[in-house]
Structure 1
Amino acid sequence: MQNVNKFFFFLIIISLIIALLSLLIQTDLINKVLKKKIIKEIIFIDNKYMSKEFLMSKISTKEGQSFWLFNSFKLKKELKSFNEIEEYKFKLDWAGNLMISIKEKKPFMSWNLNNHVKFIDDEGKILNYDRNLNNLKIINLYGDNANIYIPYLKTNFFEKKSQEIKVNEIFFLNNIGWKITFYNKKCFFFPLKKLEKVTDIFENIVNSDLYLEFNFFDLRINNRVYLSKKEC
């Protein structure tokens, strides 16, 4: 009887050892699988103006890096630092696909400076887009440091003018004024300062017969309007 008990005890010990070894082997396999789990692909959604290569160069998360080392807080901070991005959201699925959906700022103007074109937002800040945007129908801006005055121009002109009047080009002429041309070949000269005081005059002209008869309007002199039929 004593020998039988020893035999069963021996079997229990052997079974425990086998179970422990099996667990260790499985754990090792799990660890190997976990270590190999990576971010397989980073997918950008709705990036019309910036290429994937350009966006990837601006974030620290990379394809092929460890799945477990993904830092969502750091990615949020990096995406938030883009002046070009208005909104964003992202999701990393279990398969290792990181999907980043972004809403890019639409350029407000193309700023032509020394034969170089830069795109700017409605605050005059430069938008670093790497894709060809030549087909965009936006306002062309000319003049040194013209972008500095865009917030002022936006508040005192664009937000007050009729939306039906489409601006084609804006020329910033230092110490002279603003020359604004429209798609209908009409143009206006505005003062650099106190623009808000002539916006109503501009609207009155646009809604009058004078706008049909003349092409050139100069509002830079207080309480006077210079009119001409010459082409702009």
Structure 2
Amino acid sequence: KVQTGLGMTSGFAFDVQAVCAGFAYALTIANSLIVSGQSKKILVIGAETFSRIMDWEDRTTWVLFGDGAGALILEAQECEGTSQDRGILSCDLSSDGKYNDLLYVDGGVSTTQTTGVLRMQGQEVFKHAVGKLAESGENAMSKAGITSEDVDWIVPHQANLRIIKSTAKKMAVPMEKVVLTVQDHGNTSAASIPLALSVAVEKGQIKRNNLILTEAIGGGLAWGAVVFRW
């Protein structure tokens, strides 16, 4: 529907389902398509309508989430193959299905043939989120040949302030280098990273050639990080 709405009659469109980690996964896939020469320009969209799957009797979940959408365009360009290049420099993805029961939707076409609602064990998710996000961020920076001191901004998935602050502390990154929008939009899942990027650019925080680390974790559990130069 998006392809049709944009009036596009060429190329191809597909969905990536990795919930809160979805934008990191989608950026990684898009980068791979460009690096392999299969695509030259890709529109990556992160969109979520969590209001459709909320249990409005469960205040531990519905107060945290929001609806939203955001997008980035990636385009192939010749580069030098160094950390000074603009664009995506490295990616790191992981998942572990044994944690599925910590954060999931209790229904769906393939299981109950119903819509289902979000279920979350918040404390358990927090315990895993901080360590896994920090590790993935470190892995992505190592692949890019940089350290946290080189990073201008961290743009994390806006899960909640506690996870964001704890992850930054574990990575020894000052909060002054972390983009925060969760107080305005809530947790918008796959939309939270592009929304945060848009806000930071509009505010003049993120500028051309800034080095950015983005990281996310979501149901599955699935998590990942991407390093890129704006």
- Do the two structures share a fold, i.e. TM-score over 0.5? no
Higher fraction of helix = 2
Please give the TM-score of this superposition, normalised by the length of structure 2. Answer: 0.19
Please give the TM-score of this superposition, normalised by the length of structure 1. Answer: 0.19
Max Rg structure = 1
